[in-house]
Structure formats: C-alpha cells, structure tokens
Amino acid sequence: MSRRPIVSTVLAVGLLISCLSAAATDQTAGALTLDETFAQALVRSEVVATQSELIRQAEERYRQANAAIRPTLSGIASYTWLDSGAADTATNPTRQPHARLTGTQPLFRGFREFAAIRQSQALVGAQGDDYQNARVQLFKDVAQNFYDVLTLEQDLKNLDEQIGQYQQREKELQGRVRIGRTRTGEVLTVQATISTLRAQVEQVRAQLSTARDIFAFLSGLPGTTPLRDTEVLPNNLDVLDDYLVRVALRPDVKAAQRRQTAAQENISVARGEHLPSLDLNANRYLERTGSLENVEWDVQLALTVPLYAGGSVQSRVREAQSQREQAELATTRARRLADQEIRSFYQTVVLDRSRLDALEKATDAAKSNYETQRRDYRLGLVTNLDVLQALSTYLENQQALDRVRYNVKFNYLRLQAAAVRRPNVPEGTTP
C-alpha cells in the first residue's frame, strides 16, 4: 500500500482544521467580553461621572473646613472727607486717609472647627463610597444587558434549529403521504407549527433589537457589536457565610457608616456654639491720621462669649441629634438590605445550579426519547403525534437549558458584585 494517499489525506485534514480555526477566529474577532463592555460603559456613564464631580465638591468643602483654623489676612483702605467747620485743620482734618493690613488667627472656637474638619473628611469618604457603589450598580446593568443579548441570540439559534427539525419532519411526512402511509393532515400540523415558530422568531428579533439599543446606550458602541461570553462558574459554591461576612465591605454600607460619623461630628459643631471664641488680631497701619497717626502696629485678643441667642443654638443641637439618629437608622437599613440581597442572590444561584443539572439530564433524556419515537414511528409502533410531542419536549428543554446556563452566570455575577468579590467592579481607582 502506497503512503502517498495517507499523506495526502493527513494534509487535507490538517488544512481543513486550519481553515475551521481561522473561521472561528474571524467570528470572535472584535467580540467584547463582559469586562470589556463594562470598561466601555464606565467611560460612557453620566451617573459615574456625576459621582466623580460630587467627590471633587466634597474635597473642596473639606479644604474650606480646614481654612477655618488658618489665619486670614485682609487689606482695608478708606478716604474720608469731613466738613467740621473748624478753623484748625491740624486737629480737625477735612481729609482722613486710612489704610491697613489686618491679620486674624482663630485661637479657640469651641472645638467646632475641628469637628467640622472631621465631619467634612467623613463626607469625602462617603462620597467616594457612593462613587464605588455607582460602579457596582452600573456593572449589574451591564451584566443584565450583556446576558439579555446573548440569551436572545441563543433563542434565535434555537428557533432556527427547531424550524429545521420540523422542516425535516415535514419532508419525511410528505414522502410518506406520496406512498399512502401518512395522512395529509399530519403534514399540515407540522406546517402550522413551523408558522408559529417563525412568528416567534420575529418576536425574539424585536426583543433583541431593543436589547441591542440598550447595549448601545450603555456602552456608546454600535448595537451590532458582537459579544463573547468568557465567564466560568466555579465547580463548588462557597458557603453563604463567606459572602455575608463581606457586608461591611460594601460601598453602600461604608457610605452609610461614614455619614453616621459625619452626623455625630455635626453635633459637636452645634454644641461648640455654646462656648466662647478667642481670636488674635493684628493690624499694620500704612496710612493713618489723627492722634494715632504715628502708631504703626496694634495687637489685640478678642474674646466673644455667647450669652443668649433665643434658644437657636440648643435647637440646632437637637436637630443635629435627630440627624444622627436618622443616620444610624440608615446604616442599619443598609446593612439589612445588603444581607438580604446577598442571601437572595445566593439562594437564586443555588436553585439555578440545581435546575441546570436537572435540565441537562432532562434534555439528554428528551433527545433519546425523540430518537426512539422516530425509530418506532418508522416501524409503525407509535403515531406521528407521539413523535411531535417528543420533538417538542426535546426542543423546549434545550431552549430552557441554554437560558438557564446564561441566567446562572448572571445571578452568580450579581452575587459576586453584592459581596464585593468581583475584581475591579467596586474597587476601581477613585477620582
């Protein structure tokens, strides 16, 4: 036996494999993963950008609070004309120029300025947490849309396959009609099913078009951009407690805690208004008239003691105390909602994985049953209705299986994001 045909065959197979690989590469070229889509959405998102600006505003308020403990310097100048009616202009000048530099150093303000600094610092941190939480919410929206698109695209593929299966069945039945072994009504039944499936195709295409529009809105990319699923489910899901212990790391919970801290400091700010203030003032005179014309400097300590303000100070203290209670309730609620969300996502993932396993077995069984029914039909052991029912069950199970495969991934991603376990989602660099 010659080796030439064998070599030729091997070369041909190799060439075929290369061509198939190249075709697969072309199909996936330019396709975006979930992380790549999220990165595009981050650049696009007005909500995230707004949170960045709010961070900058909070930082400026922090700088303003710090400025309250620093000295101030101001220049004052005036020029006064007087008509005293006196003949002696030396003692009663008609023109009085005045110019000075005034510096003030706060020495004591009832510690409220330091409380205000700590308050504004806590609010800067809270705003940063809000920014991170906006990233989390955006990731959930992107993931939802990402798998909506993939699911609907798979639905179209499944519907095309179903139509092909029924068309094959139609062709087989038409052949049996011609030889008188099957009634025409059975062919019409299959044709009606095909028409129904084609109507479903149009419906799914409309839904996919809407999902693609949402994708374009979120990412700023063309709606026709191909997507590529690279997410992998772990073989074993961690226990629930491993997710619940991360509640305190969630940005929404951290933001609530920081705002509670800020509310506590605000009480100190309000109470500080009961205490006296002490300032150091210094003046450097550049131009002066009158009896103090030759005095170039003066320094003074100014003590201000609040005596009575109509009860407004104590009212602000009570208001600040109420705000603190409100902040504590908000923190408690944030923790409870975070705990409930993680529990809900976790149970959903557990159920989805169980459903996935069950559907895989059911789909395999339905496929085997359909093949058996087709064989038995040719032998006259079952009716065409039995075959159609077996085919319908198999195709419906296959479609449900594909949907659950995407759905379990999406719910697992939501669980990861809710428990701050998805890298680079809530932990990106804060602007």
pLDDT digits (tens, 9 = 90+) for 27-37: 455 799 999 99
pLDDT beyond 50 at 310: yes
Provide the mean pLDDT of the chain. 87
In the chain, where are the structural domains located?
Answer: 32-80+97-418
Distance separating alpha carbons of residues 328 and 342, to the nearest angstrom? 21
| Residue 298 binned pLDDT confidence (cut-offs 50, 70, 90) | confident
| Residue 333 binned pLDDT confidence (cut-offs 50, 70, 90) | very high
Q: What CATH number labels 32-80+97-418?
A: 1.20.1600.10
For residue 39, how many other CB atoms are within 10 A of its CB?
16
Distances (CA, A) of 369 to 152, 166, 173, 395: 27, 16, 19, 12
* Residue range 251-272, pLDDT digits in tens: 999 999 999 999 999 999 999 9
Query: Cα–Cα–Cα angle for 138, 140, 141, nearest 5°?
Result: 65
The phi, psi pair for 390, rounded to 5°, reads -65, -40
* DSSP code per residue over 84-149: ---S-TTTS-SEEEEEEEEEEEEEESTTHHHHHHHHHHHHHHHHHHHHHHHHHHHHHHHHHHHHHH
pTM comes to 0.83
pLDDT of residue 385: 84
Query: Cα–Cα–Cα angle for 333, 334, 337, nearest 5°?
Result: 80
Distance separating alpha carbons of residues 28 and 277, to the nearest angstrom? 71
Structure tokens at 108: 């004591």
The phi, psi pair for 97, rounded to 5°, reads -75, 145
The phi, psi pair for 95, rounded to 5°, reads -125, 125
pLDDT beyond 60 at 15: no
For residue 356, how many other CB atoms are within 10 A of its CB?
17
Distance separating alpha carbons of residues 264 and 294, to the nearest angstrom? 51
| Residue 285 binned pLDDT confidence (cut-offs 50, 70, 90) | confident
